[in-house]
Structures are given as structure tokens and as C-alpha cells.
Amino acid sequence: MDLEKELENIEAIGDAHVATSGDTPLRSDAFELSDEEKINSIKSDVQNIMQTLGLDLTDDSLKGTPNRVAKMFVKEIFGGLHPDRKPKASTFDNKYKYNEMLVEKNITLYSTCEHHLLPIVGRAHIAYISKGTVVGLSKMNRIVDYYAKRPQVQERLTMQIVKELQEVLGTDDVACVIDAKHLCVNSRGIRDIDSSTVTSEFCGAFKSPDVRREFLEYIKLETTY
């Protein structure tokens, strides 16, 4: 493929929000720099962007922005890139022998589109059927939050949440539906304020139409919030 074609293709992947892999594409040297070193480096990058845009960085209102953005990237909105921040697995035995579906719905989700670095805001709905192990409910929120705090595409985020819960719970019977707005679609480009994107991953027992229907019935997806 010649270079021009390749660049065109890369642009198209970004515009169409296509994920190229199920795992977050990280380099092997991703964690060689400490958080502090990353913050310092990103700070000068942000300074350079603002400088190039012609902004006056001596203005009191703008002075602190490069440092603020750098800290926010490393510690907050992209903090879930670091494996050390993965929520610890605390599981319990299913003492009550409850083997029906457990659904946690309307988990608030804030993520960032990896193609435009603009916010993705929405809700995640998760269900699982226990094979003897259960997790605390807040654990599901923490798993969603951990994977959301990365540059993301919604399909990958949905799959990563399911995969993690399958590992933690020791069962395939996990499902996740995410309904979210992408600010790159809503505020720029085609500026469609009302559209939202729904992605789903149904595994194990949730592949059966009845089980899937029961889950969807519980969450009764409302796409306006």
C-alpha cells in the first residue's frame, strides 16, 4: 500500500471509530516512565499545543492548564492504562445458592474516544449467572471505571469488561450492554446531539435468546437520559 493510501485508511478507521484490536494497543515500554515523568513530558506537550494556537500562557487563567491537563491524563482519565490500578479481585462464595441472573444496571460511564480524545458518556449494564462465586456490586462499577479510564472504542470497552468479569467469576455466563454518547459525534463532525451508540457482548448462557431477552427486559434500555 502506498503511503497516501495508508494515511487515508488510517483517517477512515478513526472517522468510523473502528477498533483494530480487543486489547488496548500498548507498547511494551508503556510503563518505563514513572507517573511524574509522564506528567512532566505531557505538560510541555500541552504547553506546545497552546503556544502553537497562539494562546498567552502568561495569562493567569491559562498558566496552570498544561500541568492540570497532564495530571488529569496520567492520574485520572487515562489512569486505567496502568495494570497496578486494576481493581483487586474480592469474590465470595455463593452461600444462598442464588443461581438466577444478577443484573447491575445504569452504571455511570465516563470514557474517552481514542480517535479524537473527546469524552464518551453513558451507562453500562452488566449481568452474570453465578457458578458458585459472586462479587460485591461495587466491584462491577470499579471494573467499568478501570477500563473506561483509557483511550477507548466502545466495542473494546464492552468486551474488556466482560472478559474481566469472566475471569473474576470463573464463568462464561456474563453479558454487558453499553449505551453511550460520543462527544466527537455529538459536538463536532456531523453534530448529532441525539444519537447514541449501543454495544453489547453476550457470552455463555446469554447467547441463548431467552436468557438474553430476560436481561434486556431487566434493563429496559432507555436511550435518552
By rule CB under 5 A, what count of residues binds Zn ion? 4
Cell readout for 72 is 488529569
Q: Which of positions 49-108 make contact with Zn ion (CB under 5 A)?
A: none
Residue 130 or residue 186: which is nearer to Zn ion going by CB? 186
Residue 116 or residue 156: which is nearer to Zn ion going by CB? 116
Least spacing, CB of residue 171 vs Zn ion, in Å: 33
Please tell me the chain's helix, strand, coil percentages from 3-state DSSP, rounded to the nearest 5. Answer: 45, 20, 35
Which residue's CB atom is positioned nearest to Zn ion? 184
Residue 43 or residue 149: which is nearer to Zn ion going by CB? 149
Q: Is 113 in the site for Zn ion (CB under 5 A)?
A: yes
Pairing of strands 133-135, 151-152: unpaired
Q: Is 109 in the site for Zn ion (CB under 5 A)?
A: no
**What does residue 121 show for φ and ψ, rounded to 5 degrees?**
-125, 130
Residue 159 or residue 175: which is nearer to Zn ion going by CB? 159
Angle subtended by helix axes 154-169 and 137-148, to nearest 10: 140
Three-class SS state of 120: strand
Q: Which of positions 166-185 make contact with Zn ion (CB under 5 A)?
A: 184
Contact 219, 177 (CB under 8 A): yes
Least spacing, CB of residue 29 vs Zn ion, in Å: 26
By annotation, the residues acting in catalysis are: 113-116, 154, 182, 184
Q: Is 157 in the site for Zn ion (CB under 5 A)?
A: no
Strands (E), the chain: 91-93, 101-113, 119-129, 133-135, 151-152, 174-182, 197-202
Q: Give the interface with Zn ion as residue ranges (CB under 5 A).
A: 113, 115-116, 184
